[in-house]
Chain A
Amino acid sequence: MGTMKPLLMEGVHFAFGNASVLEGVSLEMDAGAGVALLGANGAGKTTLTRLAMALLHPDQGRVITAGEPTAGRSPEDLASAVGYLFQHPEAQLFARTVRAEVGFGPERLGWATDRIGEAVDGVLLELGLSTLADHHPYDLPQPTRRLVAFAAALVARPQLLVLDEPTAGLDRAARARVADVVLARRASGTAVLAVTHDLGFAAAVLDRAIVLAGRCIAQQLPLTELLGDHPDFPAPPLLELARRLGLEGVRPAAAVLAPLLTSHPKTGTLEA
């Protein structure tokens, strides 16, 4: 288990009918890795994440998720190893309560009732959803439903988390929670692959960028090297600010940057 790669792709080709989407994609992710999967609309980002969790299968090449090739397997077979958050996760919610929804995966995995209860309560607390445990998912505002789907992806403590636009539509408090949870899970060894256009979120919680363009991986590099160096991927405000203040290498998150600024003498009124 210790040396197993959460995700490995080797020479993956994939087409929808005649429309080729990916041609020769190879990548690997280590435990605890945080990868931002970037690219223009239609570049194949969502397709790649679906290959990772056996929702799709490559026409050529191999996808090895949590140590096992996905060939011949379905998403259910990967349920204990991969947590997946869809771009529009309302489609993946179906239970009558938030608690049942989040507990569904562990139940299918055959966990004991006590263990399910503990895991569900834990993840609901982590995401600030405890008071909503008995609500019907469909009575919740759409962004809250996204958080419920995120809780369901997290609950079995998978080795690999695949997140498709995890912060889209979330408010400030929810975005901060998602960011904290991603950092905490990475610290405990979960690899995170996130498709996101929220470059501020990416810079704060992830560290590697994989850029899809022209049906293959056009660039693979540290995220901070990419951001600001490419017109499609401008540096998010906190990263740009950190650079201009000479704070290179500091993680561009408010909680990290703020203590470095409070000690600064010039915190008076804004200069015109």
Chain B
Amino acid sequence: MSALLFKGAGFTYPGAPSPALRDCVLHADAGSITWLTGALGAGTSTALLLAAGLAPRHTGGERTGTVLTLGVDPALPSSGAALGGRVALVLPSPATQLSGIAETVFQEVAFAPANLGWPRARITARVSDALTALAISHLANREPGTLSGGEMQRAVIASMLVLEPDLWLLDEPTSALDTAGRALVHALLRREAVRGAAVVVASEDTDGLHQVADRLVVFADGCPVLDGPPQEVLRGERVWEAGAASTAIAGLARAAGNAAPRPLTVDEGVARWAR
């Protein structure tokens, strides 16, 4: 069973003239990093909201077709009991995801486990592990609202990691992170996949993710149009036709008039162009 399954899924935001997602067929499997990308408005963020059940529950609007998240329709009122604590959603603006009532980063990360009624010793151990994994142990006693953008992004990811979710849904999770932070989150996503979680990440960070993700799904106009190993998809022309981006080196090769398959990395670029 796929951890995430869309069959003919569609979604229209309230009042929008056209659907944000249409007839979308998509799956994401446990143990694997599935990377979604596409031009602005292609539908990757909407797909994550649909998978998390926030669309249409919080956004309003109309969903069509089938969405199964860990085997459950996340739009059903009863899905909370089945999915609570098992699905981690990381949104692009971390400030919107702080609880607003925790006095310290430690409490913020402990918030969900405490709500789920975990024993104290387990909470303490897991929170410490999560803070260490995101390299923010030194911020444990800081007030969450005083964190920088990148620190907040790490804290939000830690607050999800602590639950050991079965499904990760991440929208631009490294947008505010420095180089070290991006590498750390990419390594963390790999560890989570190895642990058995399904990881779905929507990102425009092609140069960061092309050697991390197992599978790349390119969206255009509200549905997936390309699906395959990043190393194959990104060498081709169709990713550009879809309005998405390949790596900087592939973009350079394209600008220079080189036909596909194109180089993706600096080493490959040097091999092609060095005299």
Chain A contacts to B: CB under 8 angstroms? 16, 19, 39-43, 45-46, 87-88, 90, 139, 141-144, 164-165, 168-175, 197, 199-200, 232-234, 236-238, 240-241, 244-245, 254-255, 257-259, 261-262, 264, 266-267, 269-271
Given contacts A237-B266, A245-B270, A262-B256, contact A171 B149 (CB under 8 A): no
- Complex-state Cα separation, A168 to B252, whole angstroms: 21
18 A/B residue pairs, CB under 8 Å, sorted by A: A40-B150, A41-B153, A41-B154, A87-B149, A88-B93, A168-B92, A170-B40, A171-B38, A173-B243, A200-B248, A237-B247, A237-B265, A238-B248, A238-B249, A254-B251, A267-B256, A270-B261, A270-B268
- Pick the residue among B16, B177, B243 that contacts A171 (CB under 8 A): B243
Chain B positions within 8 Å of A, measured between CB atoms, are 13, 15-16, 38-41, 45, 92-93, 95, 139, 146-151, 153-154, 172, 175-182, 204, 207, 243-245, 247-249, 251-253, 255-258, 261-263, 265-266, 268-275
B248 touching A143, Cβ below 8 Å: no
Contacts of A236 in B (CB 8 A): 207, 248
Closest chain A residue to B13, Cβ basis:
A139
Q: A88-B93, A139-B16, A271-B271 are in contact. Are A238 and B176 (CB under 8 A)?
A: no
- Inter-chain CA distance A186–B251, complex, in Å, is 25
Contact in complex: B148, A172 (CB < 8 Å): no
Given contacts A169-B92, A173-B40, A234-B179, is CB(A42)–CB(B273) below 8 Å?
no
Please tell me if the beta carbons of A241 and B252 are within 8 angstroms of each other in the complex.
Answer: yes
Q: How far is the CA of A232 from the CA of B180 in the complex (A)?
A: 7
Of B45, B150, B275, the residue contacting A142 (CB under 8 A) is B45
- CB atoms of B39 and A172 under 8 A apart: yes
Would you call B270 and A171 a contact (CB within 8 A)? no
What residue of chain A has the Cβ atom nearest to residue B174's Cβ? A197
Checking A39, A165, A241, A259 against B175 with a beta-carbon cut-off of 8 angstroms, the contacting residue is: A165
Q: Check B270–A244 contact: CB distance below 8 A.
A: yes
Task: Find A255's partner among B146, B204, B255 (CB 8 Å cutoff).
Answer: B255
Among candidates A168, A173, A199, residue contacting B179 with C-beta atoms closer than 8 Å: A199
The distance in angstroms between the C-alpha atoms of A267 and B139, with both chains bound, is: 50
Q: How far is the CB of B19 from chain A (nearest CB, A)?
A: 14
Which residues of chain B are within 8 angstroms of A232 by Cβ–Cβ distance?
Answer: 178-180
Instruction: Give the docked Cα–Cα distance between A254 and B95 (Å).
Output: 34
Minimal beta-carbon separation of A271 from chain B (angstroms): 5
**What are the 8 tightest A-B residue pairs by CB atom distance, in nearest-first order?**
A41-B150, A172-B245, A258-B255, A168-B175, A258-B256, A261-B256, A237-B248, A254-B255
Instruction: Name the residue on B nearest A235 (C-beta).
Output: B266
Name, among A88, A142, A172, the residue most crowded by chain B CB atoms within 10 Å (CB to CB): A172
Using A237-B266, A262-B256, A267-B256 as known contacts, say yes or no to A197 and B272 having CB atoms under 8 A apart: no
B262, chain A: closest CB distance, angstroms: 7
B36 shortest CB reach to chain A, Å: 12
